[in-house]
């Protein structure tokens, strides 16, 4: 799936990015990014470490200089403007709060820089405190607050200047798991209530999928796929995206087309697809990607039926994370992870039953980088 960004620069977009290139010390980090951010949307920039997602966010905010390209906001290119002139606010991973200041002073800091009067600052900060559930905390030092409360203060400081665009740089990574879950929903609710355009950087797939209405998957300074969480999860555009989105099992296959159907072969295992599903498969050597919950364990002599591929294998390892058993199965020269409710002993011969419709299959030549 190609990014929906090839039209005029930012037409109807809160932010329109065109040909954006960024380099650090002569090393190119972003390689000509084209991307639109729709007004009121919540976009997550997602990718592994070093993919360029944080650099893209910081170039939008003005904290990283742009080598080439444009960032259009409100009909003007802001790529050369300082952060405070871009109509955006940023929440940092480290919160970036002033430890010697009170909650009131931290939330009102941006307003003070903009020359607002004390009464205006007090009124706006009071509004933010009520909005964020921090009423009564205005005179406390931020060092006396919990992690979740500090995150709310950082969010309040960003929102106090009434930005149209909110940038979030992994703001939840320093919180414990329980508070992180709460803050995911709070930030999303605030964004929707205020109608902000939000851009959120994270390496956490679940966080991205539960908070954002659009994902931008990045790979080595380029965009690998843009789409809704459902599109990216269920219909990955490449082996890299499939693997990154949790389809970490890899099974070598051979695909043979003929007369409206395709045979999918893995060693002695064979299954057949017909119609559009068959036509969509590559021809020849391929790699199939799938998640742990896709395959099931069957008897070693089980046969294929209804579009299932049954690959012979051997139980190599077993763990019990709770509720199900997690197995490592030696099959087709690979170790496949499978979740199953039944207990099997190590060394047991099994049939690895895999529905073809739930495999993400790519030509071996294209998929090798993610295998």
Q: What 3-state class would DSSP assign to 363? A: strand
Q: What is the pLDDT of residues 62-108, one digit of tens each?
A: 999 999 999 999 999 999 999 989 989 999 887 788 899 999 999 99
As given in the structure block, the two tokens for residue 154 are: 């950082």
Residue 218 has pLDDT above 50, yes or no: yes
Q: Which residues contact 147 (CB under 8 A, 6 or more apart)?
A: 174, 175, 176, 179
Does the pLDDT of residue 236 top 70, yes or no?
A: yes
DSSP 114: T
Q: Which CATH architecture does the domain made up of 241-370 adopt?
A: Beta Barrel (2.40)
Flag whether pLDDT at 234 surpasses 50. Answer: yes
Two tokens, residue 79: 């790529």
Do residues 228 and 215 touch, judged by C-beta distance below 8 A?
Answer: yes
Supply 221's token pair: 């300074």
Indicate the CATH number of 15-240 among 2.70.98.10, 1.10.10.60, 3.40.50.300, 3.40.630.10: 3.40.50.300
What is the percent of the chain with per-residue pLDDT over 70, rounded to a whole number? 95
Report the pLDDT averaged over residues 190-216. Answer: 95
Residue 363 in contact with residue 285, Cβ under 8 Å? Answer: yes
Looking at the DSSP assignment, which residues form a beta bridge with residue 141? Answer: 102
Q: Tokens for 225, please give them.
A: 């796929």
Helix (H, G, I), strand (E, B) or coil at 336: strand
Q: Where are the domains of the chain?
A: 15-240, 241-370
Asked if 132 and 156 count as a contact pair (C-beta separation under 8 A), the reply is yes
Q: Across 320-359, where does the E strand assignment appear?
A: 325-331, 334-340, 349-355
Q: Count CA atoms closer than 13 A to 350's CA, side-chain side.
A: 26
pLDDT tens-digit profile of 242-298? 999 999 999 999 999 988 889 999 988 999 888 888 888 999 999 999 999 999 999
Confidence (pTM): 0.87
Check: CB of residue 315 under 8 Å from CB of residue 345.
yes
User: Is the pLDDT at 7 greater than 60, yes or no?
Assistant: no
């Amino acid at each position: 799936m190609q990014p929906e960004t090839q039209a005029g620069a930012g037409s109807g977009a809160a932010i329109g990015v065109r040909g954006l290139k960024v380099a650090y010390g002569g090393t190119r980090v972003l390689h000509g990014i084209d991307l639109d951010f729709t007004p009121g949307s919540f976009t997550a920039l997602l990718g592994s470490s070093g993919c360029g997602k944080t650099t893209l966010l910081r170039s939008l905010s003005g904290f990283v200089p742009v080598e080439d390209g444009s960032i259009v906001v409100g009909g003007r290119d802001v790529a050369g403007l300082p952060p405070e002139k871009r109509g955006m606010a940023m929440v940092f991973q480290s919160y970036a709060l002033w430890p010697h200041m009170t909650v009131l002073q931290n939330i009102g800091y941006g307003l003070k820089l903009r020359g607002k009067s004390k009464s205006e600052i007090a009124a706006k900060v009071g509004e933010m405190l009520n909005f964020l559930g921090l009423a009564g905390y205005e005179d406390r030092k931020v060092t006396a607050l919990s992690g979740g409360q500090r995150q709310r203060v950082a969010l309040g400081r960003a929102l106090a200047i009434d930005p149209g665009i909110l940038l979030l740089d992994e703001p939840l990574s320093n919180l414990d798991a329980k508070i992180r879950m709460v803050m995911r929903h709070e930030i999303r609710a605030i964004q929707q209530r205020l109608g902000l355009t939000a851009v959120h950087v994270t390496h956490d797939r679940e966080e991205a999928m539960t908070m954002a209405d659009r994902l931008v998957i990045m790979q080595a300074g380029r965009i690998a796929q843009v789409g809704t969480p459902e599109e990216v999860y269920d219909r990955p555009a490449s082996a890299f995206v499939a693997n990154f989105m949790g389809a970490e099992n890899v099974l070598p296959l051979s695909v043979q087309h003929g007369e409206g159907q395709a045979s999918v072969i893995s060693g002695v295992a064979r299954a057949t697809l017909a119609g559009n599903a068959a036509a969509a498969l590559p021809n020849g050597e391929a790699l199939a990607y799938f998640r742990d919950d896709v395959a099931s364990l069957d008897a070693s002599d089980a046969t294929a039926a209804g579009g299932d591929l049954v690959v012979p294998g051997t139980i190599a390892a077993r763990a019990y994370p709770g509720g199900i058993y997690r197995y490592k199965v030696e099959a087709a020269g690979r170790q496949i992870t499978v979740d199953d409710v039944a207990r099997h002993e190590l060394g047991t011969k099994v049939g690895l039953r895999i529905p073809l419709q739930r495999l993400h299959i790519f030509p071996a030549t294209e998929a090798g980088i993610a295998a």
